[in-house]
Chain A
Amino acid sequence: MTPEGIRREVSAWLDEKWRVDRPLIEWREILLEGGWAAPHWPEEWYGRGFTLDQTAVVAEVFRERDVVPAAQVGPRGLASETILACGSDDQKGRFLRPILTGEHTWCQLFSEPGSGSDLAGLSTRAEFKDGKWIVNGQKVWNTSAHHADFGLLVARTDWDVPKHQGISYFLLDMRQPGVEARPLRQMNGHQSFNEVFMTNAEVPPEDLIGGEGNGWHVAKTTLSFERRGFSRRVRGSSLDGPKQGPIYAEYDEELRIATEPYTWYPQREGRVDLVLPRARETGAIHDPATRQEIAKLICLYTGAKLASDGAEARRKAGTTEIIPAGSIGKLAASVIARQASHVHTMISGADAMLSGPDSAADGIIAEVLVSVPAISIAGGTDEIQRNIISERVLGMPKGFRADQGPFRDIKRNA
C-alpha cells in the first residue's frame, strides 16, 4: 500500500470513528476492532501486517489529527513485542489486547543485584511445585514496577546445565502477595526504578513463555526490541499542546505516569544545548581553556552525529559491513556526555557546588553533573560496549571465561 493510500484509508476511518468524548478504554477498543491500534502486527492479532515505515504513516496521521493512539509508552511495548514474537496463541489472546488498550501496564524483571552486565548469571529461582512455578529472588532497576500489573521475568529453572541453558521466561502477575516493589533512590535524587522482591510468588504453567530452559532466547528477543528503540519508532504518542476533550485528560494522565521516570534523561546526556548559552551568560566564552574544551565537545558531537547518519545511510543501502551502530553510538553518547559535564563544570566554576532552583539554569546544570554517570552504565556499560566492538567489529579474540559448565559450580555473588 502506498503512503497516500494508507493516509486516505485511515483518514476515512477516523472521520467516522474518532470522538474526543469517549472514555479512553472504549476508544481503544474501537481502535483495536478497526485494526489501527498496531498496524505493523499480523492481521490475526489486531494488525494489518504493515512495515514500520507504513506504520509511521498511520502514526503521522494520528498526530496531525490529535488522535489518541493505542497505549505504547514504557515497558509495555517490550511486553507486547516479546509475546507477539515468542508467545503461544493463548498468551497472545490473553495479554495483547489489554496492553494496547492501556488497561495493563508492564515492567521488566531482568537485572539482579548479583548479575548486572552478566545477565545470564542470574540466580532468581523458579521451581515447579504442585502444578505451578514458585519464584524466589530479587530483581533491580525495574522501571514502573511499583504500578505494573505484570512483569517480564527471567528466572533460573535448572542449576545443573550451563548458565544460558537453565533460564526460563515468565509472565508474572505483579499483583500478588509474594511480590513487593520498593522504589530505588538514585544518586541524583530521582526514583525512576524499583527493586522487586519475590517470595514464593506464583506463576501458573500457562504463563511460561517460549518453553522451559529457553528463556535466554526469549530474553534476547526482548533486548533486541529494547536496543532498537522500538517503542520510539512507532510511538506517535506525544500530542502537542493542551487539547480540549475528556479523552485527553485520561491520556495525559497515562503519559504522565509512564514518562515520569524519564524526566532527567536529557540531563544524563550532558545538555550539550546549554553549553554555549551558559558560556555566554557567565563570560566563560572568553576563557581560552574553556574555549578549547567547548571546541572539543562540538567536534565530538558533530562528528558522532555525522558518523551515525552515515552508518544509517549505508545500512539502508544494504551494506555488508558490520556496523554495530548501537554500541558505537552508545559509547559516543558517553564520551559526549562526560565532555559536556566537564565543560559545564568549567563554565560554572564554584557555582557548580549549588543545586536547586537558585542554582544555574534552575538546577538543571547541577542535575547534569550528578546524572551523567548513569549514561555509561544504563543499558550496558561502556566496558561491555567496548567488548562488543572489539570482538564483533574488530574480530579480536574473546577473553578467558570462568563461567562454563553447570551453573551450580560457577562462583558468584553471595
Chain B
Amino acid sequence: MQTEFSKEQNLLRDVVSRALRDKSPATAVREQMASDRGYDEAVWQELCGDAGLAGVHVPEAYDGAGGGAVELGIVAEEMGRTLFCGPWFASAVMAGSALLEAANEPERQALLPGIADGSTIATLVLDDLNGPAGVGGSIRAAGDGKLSGTAAMAVDAHVADLLLVAASGDTGGLGLHAVEGGAPGLGVEPLQVVDPTRKLSRVAFADVPARHVGDVTREALSRIWDRICSALAHEMIGGAQHLFETTVNYTKERYQFGRPIGSFQALKHRCADLLLEIEIARALTHHSARCLDAGEGEPYVASMAKAAAADACMSAARAGIQLRGGIGFTWENDTHLWFKRAKGSEVLFGTPAIHRERMMTMLEGAA
C-alpha cells in the first residue's frame, strides 16, 4: 500500500491549491456565503467543467480522471483550506460515492459523467446524518417507485439537478433513488445554518416520482459513509492547517507588553500541542484514503480519521479565536468563517463520539 503521495498527486495538489487561492479568496467566500445559491457558477465551470475537479475519483470508464479516495482527499483538503463555497462536496463526494458504491452499471454510466464534468449538480439525501444505522427510517419508496417522507437536512439540495435519495422499500431493504430537481411533490426549503458556507435544506417528499438506481446493502452504506467521512476529514485537515498557520503568524506580528505575543510560553505551548494534534489527525486522514483505495488496513480507518480530524480542526478553530483575542471574535475578522465550517463538519456524518463508538463496534462488537 502507498505510504507517501506520488509525484502526480503532489502535482494535483499544487494545481488545485493555486486555482483555489485564485478563485476562492476570503472576499469571495464572504460574497458567496451571503448569496442564496451559495456559489459562483463561473468559478464552478472553471474548476469542474474545465479542470475536472468533480471527477478526480471517478473511473475513466465514466469519463472521470480515474483516481481514487487519495485524489478526492487532496481536492477536499485544498477546498477546506480555502473554504471553497460550492456544491463540490455534495455532488462529487456525496452523490459520487453513493453512485460508485451502490448504483447499478447502466445508472453509473448514465449519471457519473455529468457529475464528473460538473454539468450535473447532484446531492445525496439521507434522512439521518448522524450514522448509517438510522438511514431509511423516514423516507419510503412505494411499490410504484414514488417517494414520501422527509430529510431534515440535505447538503446543497437547493441547487441540485439530481437528488439521490436513500429510501426504505416495501420489503424493508434500502434503495438508492434518483429524483430530478423540481420534480412534482418535491419540497426544498433552505434552512438557517451556523455555517453559511455550506447550505442546507429541508427536503420533503410527497409522492415524488423517482427512479430506482440500485440496492443499498448495509455494507454498501457503510462504505459510502467511509468514503464521505474520509473526504470530509481531509477537508477538515485543510481547514485546520489554514487556521493553524494564520494563527501562528498572527502571534508573531501582534505586540503586547513590548514583545510579540508568540514569545509567551502560554501561546507557544498551545501551538506546539496543536501541531501535534493536527499531525496525528493528518496522518490518520491520509492513511484512511490510502486504505480505502487499496482495500486494506483497519476496517474502522475512516472513523479514526473523521474523529481525529474533527477534534483537531475544532482545536485549531478555538485556538484561532482565542489567540487573536478580541479581534478574533469580530465579524470583520475571517477566523469565524473557518470556525463555523469546523463546527458544521464536526457533526456532519457523525460526531467524533459517534465515530469512536463505531470504531469500537467494528473492533470489539457492540457495547
Query: A: which residues have CB within 8 A of B?
Result: 276, 279-280, 285-288, 291-292, 294-296, 298-300, 302-304, 306-307, 309-310, 313-314, 317, 328, 331-332, 335, 383, 385-387, 389-391, 393-400
Contacts and interface: CB of A to CB of B under 8 A. Distances in A.
A389 B252 CA distance: 15
Looking at A295, A328, A387, the one whose CB has the most chain B CB atoms below 10 A away is A295
B259 A394 contact: no
Nearest to B273: A386
Given A302-B304, A304-B280, A292 B357 contact: yes
26 contacts: A276-B364, A292-B357, A294-B360, A295-B357, A298-B304, A298-B359, A302-B284, A303-B279, A303-B284, A331-B273, A385-B272, A386-B268, A387-B268, A387-B272, A390-B262, A390-B268, A390-B269, A393-B275, A394-B248, A394-B268, A394-B271, A394-B272, A394-B275, A396-B252, A396-B271, A399-B264
A307 B279 contact: yes
B199 interface: no
B171 interface: no
A328 B274 CA distance: 11
Given A299-B280, A302-B304, A399-B263, A288 B271 contact: no
A400 B262 CA distance: 12
Contact of B283 (A288, A298, A307): A307
A395 B287 CA distance: 28
A393 B262 CA distance: 13
B356 A303 contact: no
A273 to B, nearest CB: 15
B191 interface: no
B25 interface: no
B110 interface: no
Given A294-B360, A394-B248, A397-B260, A303 B367 contact: no
B266 to A, nearest CB: 10
Interface string B280-297: 111110110000000000
Contacts of B357: 288, 291-292, 295
Contacts of A317: 4
Contact of B3 (A300, A302, A309): A309
A40 to B, nearest CB: 28
Contacts, number: 123
Nearest to A329: B276
Interface of B: 3-4, 248, 251-252, 259-260, 262-265, 267-269, 271-273, 275-276, 279-284, 286-287, 298, 304, 307-308, 353, 356-357, 359-360, 363-364, 367
Contacts of B298: 302
A395 B271 CA distance: 11
A132 to B, nearest CB: 43
Contacts of A303: 279-281, 283-284, 304, 308
B288 to A, nearest CB: 10
Nearest to B353: A292
A299 B272 contact: no
B265 A332 contact: no
Contact of A295 (B4, B248, B276, B360): B360
B272 A285 contact: no
Nearest to B277: A335
A397 B263 contact: yes
A395 B252 contact: yes
A389 B275 contact: yes
Contacts of A294: 360
B367 A288 contact: yes
A286 B284 CA distance: 25
A310 B273 contact: no
A328 B279 contact: yes
Given A299-B359, A395-B252, A398-B263, 9 more contacts: A292-B357, A299-B280, A302-B284, A302-B287, A310-B4, A387-B268, A389-B276, A394-B248, A396-B251
Contacts of B272: 331, 385-387, 389-390, 394
B367 A291 contact: yes
Contacts of A399: 263-265, 268
Contacts of B259: 397, 400
Nearest to B251: A396
A296 B353 CA distance: 9
B7 to A, nearest CB: 12
Nearest to B4: A313
Looking at A314, A383, A397, the one whose CB has the most chain B CB atoms below 10 A away is A397
A396 B268 contact: yes
Contacts of A306: 283-284, 286-287
A331 B279 CA distance: 12
A328 B280 CA distance: 10
B268 A285 contact: no
Contact of B284 (A279, A299, A328, A393): A299
Contact of B304 (A279, A299, A383, A385): A299
B131 to A, nearest CB: 15
Contacts of A332: 276, 280
Contact of A286 (B264, B269, B367): B367
Contacts of B271: 390, 394, 396
B3 to A, nearest CB: 6
Contacts of A385: 272
Contacts of A291: 356-357, 360, 364, 367
Nearest to B264: A399
7 A-B pairs with the lowest CB-CB distances in the bound complex, closest first: A303-B280, A295-B356, A390-B268, A306-B283, A386-B272, A307-B283, A397-B263
Contacts of B363: 298
